[in-house]
Amino acid sequence: MRWTRRDVLWRGLMALLGSWLVTAPFDACRKAGKASDFVTIRATEYAFTPASLSAHVGQTVRIRFENHGSLQHNFVIDNVIWSAMVDPGKTVELEFTAPNQPGNYPYYCAVPGHRELGMQGMLHVTPS
């Protein structure tokens, strides 16, 4: 198949739009060292939406954790935050400081078996 200029432009536009839709909710989270507005994370069986967050080193991260599932869930980043269990239909607000080292930090639900079933995501920490 030979791509036309229109095909290339259309695919580029769709890639750009897709990238914007994924990252736009987290622009508020990218202000280094300052508390951001809350980012909402929705928990269901067995996933987090969104499955990716971004923050700068040492930034205060504020999350509104909503449990839309029918089971209890929590939010864990090893050595950073370990929330209490959140009942179905409930919401909690969490706040933590992003790690001081850039890198990728997995977040997950610590209920036995939930992480293995896909209830996990990634916090991407970038330099200030």
Give pLDDT tens digits for 24-76: 444 444 444 444 589 999 999 999 999 999 999 999 999 999 999 999 999 99
In whole angstroms, what is the distance from residue 22 CA to residue 6 CA? 24
State the residue for tokens 């992003």.
98
The answer to whether the predicted template modeling score (pTM) of the entire model surpasses 0.85 is no
Longest dimension (CA), the chain: 55
Q: Are strands 47-49 and 60-67 parallel, antiparallel or unpaired?
A: unpaired
| Domains, the chain, with CATH or none | 26-126 (2.60.40.420)
- Using alpha carbons, list the distances in angstroms from residue 29 to 18, 80, 97: 19, 17, 11
With residue 107 as reference, give the H or E element that holds it.
strand 103-108
